[in-house]
Amino acid sequence: MTTSEQIERELTSIISRYHDKVHSELQDRWNNWNIDLEKKEIKEVVCGILSRQVSIVINYSSSPNLWNGDMAPIILRCMADNYINLAWILKGPEERSRKFILHGLGQAKLAMEHRKKQLKNDGHDPEGDSFIRTTEMWINAQRHTFLTEVNLGSWSELNTRKMAEEAGCIDFYNLVYQPFSTASHNMWNHISRYNLIPSDNPLHMFLMKPIVVQHDPELEYLELGAKYLSKMFKLFDETFNHFSKDQSSFKLLSSELNRIFNELNKDDSSTTNTGRN
Amino acid sequence: MKSPKRVLENHTRLGKKLLPPLMNLNLKEISYVQYVIPELIWIAILNKKYGLKKGTELGLELVRLTSTLSLLNNNFSYISSYELLNNSVRKRILTELNHRGVLGPIQDGLFDFVSIYPECPLSFLVDSSTNSKDKLQGLKEILLDLYDKKGATATFMMGNVLYFMGVMGKLRLVKGSPMDNLPELQNYPETLDSRIIASGVRATIFAMIGKNFISASGNWNKYFWKRGIELEPCQI
């Protein structure tokens, strides 16, 4: 077996153990949080957001072709957004969880109306459309569509920066959400570095031409995803006084990755250093 | 305790924009690559072909003579300025350069360049009916050198412009200032003085090729870059 096959096998095993750990961390929080059905919306929203972060990280960590500077920020920014939402909700869980739900229902209603209109324009009967029927049932199960208002603005009625400020995580916004937004929004400062390359022909005045790069996976990006999930668990634990005696999934992943690198460095008779310790 | 510094504290806020301090001076950015290189590249070509001393002498002859004969107040270090010459002045320039024995070397030096850019305003100097792509490699090598605006090729090219102006009495340098010792530039980048002068040269050239020059200049630089893409398309 070649070294790279060995690493791949080892990595697959580490990630599988990491997934198990992440699942058990989510279960631990859900199972040990007392249910007060009068405030079920708080639990649904908070754990829904946690579950979303877990789901993202599991899929992301299974996709090495996303662990690069071009693709990873799209996922990581989404995780940062999810974190800021939770941090802001936790500053007023009752009112803000409700707001979060109602905005979501309004958005679903709006999307449904757009689809109805499109179907009518195309000469079809919207009543027979399965998407519309299931969406309507989903909304009605929570709130009658005729009572559901549509809010065209942000769900919190604040921009994300303001939310982060109020939630005490403005540094996370400035250092993570903001820089990764350039990839999610396909801005020039991302595109010019990842999707264009200057022509090497001096006759072309440094004309930037398109390039599609097949990036090698960078484990730092894998770790960042795990770190943002861990950050969210920590926020939950601090807010709800949850104590977990198990080692965190993030620590597990980090120490396992370090182990691989240390072994690699040991095996490598040359002076190459991975820079990790 | 002092409050921590805000990022970009020296910027002025205008609505949702943060304006850098120099924006208040109504400065306009001039692209060295886009504007300066096409205007002055002929000087670098002569320097490369004949060496700095002879290249500079040939360049000076052309610029000084054209300035005298044209009766225009333009700076004839810039290729664009030659677009403004009428045929009669062009003929007199050729005659006079020939008389001084420098027409041949100038033609030899610029022949390939003009062959590649047949619509170049300097094409009247060279009897070139060929429209040649064969000489591109040499031109590309010079362009590559020139892209480094702090490199020796670019520095001597820009330094020559100031030297020409100085010799023609069109540039007055403050006595005792580093720029007053312009010939020291030939030692660039070996000596500290030459590096100080080079910095002054760059700043002066950028001040001279300001937004007024760009808006008044003709089609040369557009043609120059368009021709490059024509000759070797940028494909992926």
| The total number of residues written for chain B in this structure | 236
Interface of B with A in 115-144 (CB under 8 A): 136, 139-140, 143-144
Whole-angstrom distance, CA of residue A16 vs CA of residue A62: 9
The pLDDT of residue B129: 61
Give the gap in angstroms from C-alpha B64 to the nearest C-alpha of chain A: 30
Residue B211 C-beta-side C-alpha neighbours within 13 Å:
4
Contacts of A148 (CB under 8 A, 6+ apart): A102, A105, A106, A109, A139
B138 chain-A contacts, CB cut-off 8 A: none
The pLDDT of residue B155: 98
Whole-angstrom distance, CA of residue B42 vs CA of residue B36: 11
The pLDDT of residue A272: 45
The identity of residue A120, as a single letter, is: K
Contacts of A5 (CB under 8 A, 6+ apart): none
Comparing CA positions, the residue from B39, B88, B94, B89 lying closest to residue B68 is B89
Which uninterrupted H or E stretch holds B18?
A: strand B17-19
The pLDDT of residue A35: 80
Assess contact for A206 and A121: CB atoms under 8 A. Answer: no
Torsion angle of C-alpha atoms B37, B39, B45, B46, degrees rounded to 10? -140
- Cβ contact, residue pair B234, A201, below 8 Å: yes
Direct distance between the N- and C-terminal alpha carbons of chain B, in angstroms, rounded to an integer: 58
- Cβ contact, residue pair B232, A201, below 8 Å: yes
Comparing CA positions, the residue from A140, A53, A63 lying closest to residue A105 is A140
B139 chain-A contacts, CB cut-off 8 A: 203
Torsion angle of C-alpha atoms B111, B112, B113, B118, degrees rounded to 10? 80
| DSSP structure string for A206-258 | T-EEE----PPP-HHHHHHHHHHHHHHHHHHHHHHT----SPPHHHHHHHHHH
Which uninterrupted H or E stretch holds B13?
A: strand B12-14
Give the gap in angstroms from C-alpha B140 to the nearest C-alpha of chain A: 6
Look up residue A52 and give its DSSP letter. Answer: H
Q: Is the dihedral of CA B182, B185, B190, B196 positive or negative?
A: positive
Give the gap in angstroms from C-alpha B16 to the nearest C-alpha of chain A: 14
A165 chain-B contacts, CB cut-off 8 A: none
The pLDDT of residue A49: 98
pLDDT digits (tens, 9 = 90+) for B76-118: 999 999 999 999 999 999 999 999 999 999 999 999 999 999 9
- Cβ contact, residue pair A203, B231, below 8 Å: yes
- Cβ contact, residue pair B140, A209, below 8 Å: no
The pLDDT of residue A36: 82
Contacts of B231 (CB under 8 A, 6+ apart): A203, B116, B133, B136
% of chain B surpassing 70 pLDDT: 93
Contacts of A13 (CB under 8 A, 6+ apart): none
What are the b/e assignments for B90-114, b being 16+ CB within 10 Å?
bebbbebbeeeebbebbbebbbbbb
The phi, psi pair for A51, rounded to 5°, reads -65, -35
Q: Is the pLDDT of residue B135 over 70?
A: yes
List beta partners, residue B210. Answer: none
The pLDDT of residue A277: 41
In this prediction, residue B24 has a pLDDT band, given cuts at 50, 70 and 90, of: confident
Contacts of B35 (CB under 8 A, 6+ apart): B209, B214, B217, B221
How confident is chain A (277 residues) per 10-residue block, as mean pLDDT?
80 96 95 87 96 98 97 98 98 95 93 94 92 91 83 92 97 97 96 96 94 94 97 96 89 92 69 45
- Cβ contact, residue pair B143, A209, below 8 Å: no
Q: What angle do CA A31, A33, A35 make, to 5 degrees?
A: 100
Whole-angstrom distance, CA of residue B11 vs CA of residue B29: 18
Whole-angstrom distance, CA of residue A143 vs CA of residue B188: 78
- Cβ contact, residue pair B225, A209, below 8 Å: no
B229 chain-A contacts, CB cut-off 8 A: 203-204, 207
Exposed/middle/buried for residue B177 (C-beta within 10 Å: 0-12, 13-18, 19+): exposed
Q: What is the Rg, in whole angstroms, of the alpha carbon atoms belonging to chain B?
A: 20
pTM over 0.90: no
Whole-angstrom distance, CA of residue B154 vs CA of residue B68: 27
- Cβ contact, residue pair A204, B147, below 8 Å: no
Query: What ranges in B29-86 are assigned the alpha helix state H?
Result: 37-70
Interface test with B, best of A159, A199, A201, A211 (most B CBs within 10 A): A201
The complex's ipTM works out to: 0.82
- Cβ contact, residue pair B232, A204, below 8 Å: yes
The pLDDT of residue A274: 44
**Nearest CB to B147; choose among A202, A209, A210:** A202
3-state secondary structure of A7: helix
Mean pLDDT across chain B: 90
- Cβ contact, residue pair B229, A206, below 8 Å: no
The pLDDT of residue A275: 44
Give the gap in angstroms from C-alpha B228 to the nearest C-alpha of chain A: 5
Q: Is B14 on the interface with A (CB under 8 A)?
A: no
